[in-house]
Structure 1
Amino acid sequence: MRGLKKKRRIQVIVLAAIALIASTALVGYAMRDGINFFRSPSQIMADIPAPTERFRLGGLVEEGTLTRDAGEVIHFAVTDGGASVPVVYRGILPDLFGEGQGMIGTGRYVNGVFEATEILAKHDESYMPKEVVDALKEQGVYKPADGAQGGS
């Protein structure tokens, strides 16, 4: 009787360990494309990412670089004061998107151009995403507007 209880206990422990390993593997597999790291233009120029890597690029839309092709293709450059990255986006931009404004885009860096699949613009006159504020402060070019908040 005692040997049977011990055997049963070992079976339960082994099954629990297998279930834990399987669930951890499934969560990791599900999140492989869901995690997007933030990078500033200076970080991209210092360490160029692989063309298959998805990440978020943030900074200010550089003045004089916003151009629209026929259709929904938009070209512009994003800067953090230390470096500038050309961006191409196919789609409709948010209403608050504009030159000199903060933005974050999700996509890939391919052949020297950031191919954005999603563009997020600032919320109002004083908002700028925390990651963008931190990157601009790191470059020494962040100048808060009166009453501006970063990353709220």
Structure 2
Amino acid sequence: MKNLKKRRRIQVIVVAFVALAVSTALIGYAMRDGINFFRSPSQVAEAPPDASEVFRIGGLVEEGTLVRGQGETVTFSVTDGGASIKVAYTGVLPDLFEENQGMVGTGRYINGVFEAEEILAKHDETYMPKEVVDALKEQGVYVEPDAES
């Protein structure tokens, strides 16, 4: 009788462990496409990622580089003060998107051009994505916005 209880207890523990392992594997599999790593323009210039890798890039839209092409295609350069990366985007840009402002884009780096699938822009005059602020601080070019209200 005692041996049977011990065997049942071990079976329950093994089944629970297998269920936990399977559920962890399924969660990881489901999230594999939802994780996009952030890179600054300097990091992309130093070590260009594979063309198949989807990642996020952020920085300031470089002044004088915003070119609106035919249709909805837009090209511009994004910089963190250390390097500039050319960006191509087809679609409608956010209303607040403009030169010398912070942006974050999601896409792929193909043949020296970041082909963006999504562009996010600042939402007020002092906002800048945390990743962009960190990258600019790392380069030593970040200036704290005035604390005027």
Range of TM-score over shorter length: over 0.9
Would you say 1:147 and 2:142 are equivalent positions? no
Q: CA RMSD in A?
A: 1.2
Q: Mapping of 1:1-152 within 5 angstroms?
A: 1-147=1-147
CA contact (8 A) 1:126 1:147 kept: no
Which runs of 5 or more structure 1 residues have no equivalent in the other structure?
none
Q: SS of the residue aligned with 1:123? A: coil
Task: Give the TM-score, by structure 2 length.
Answer: 0.94
Q: How far apart are the structure 2 equivalents of 1:134 and 1:16? A: 42
CA contact (8 A) 1:56 1:104 kept: yes
Q: SS of the residue aligned with 2:24? A: helix
Aligned residue type for 1:147: A
Q: SS of the residue aligned with 2:81? A: coil
Which runs of 5 or more structure 2 residues have no equivalent in the other structure?
none
Q: How far apart are the structure 1 equivalents of 2:2 and 2:107? A: 60
Q: How far apart are the structure 2 equivalents of 1:73 and 1:85? A: 17
Aligned residue type for 1:127: Y
Task: Give the TM-score, by structure 1 length.
Answer: 0.93
Q: SS of the residue aligned with 2:93? A: coil
Aligned residue type for 1:113: V
Q: How far apart are the structure 1 equivalents of 2:90 and 2:104? A: 15
Query: Identity over the aligned pairs, expressed in percent?
Result: 72
Q: SS of the residue aligned with 1:119? A: strand
**Number of aligned residues:** 148
1:123 shift after superposition? 1.0
Q: How far apart are the structure 1 equivalents of 2:101 and 2:86? A: 15
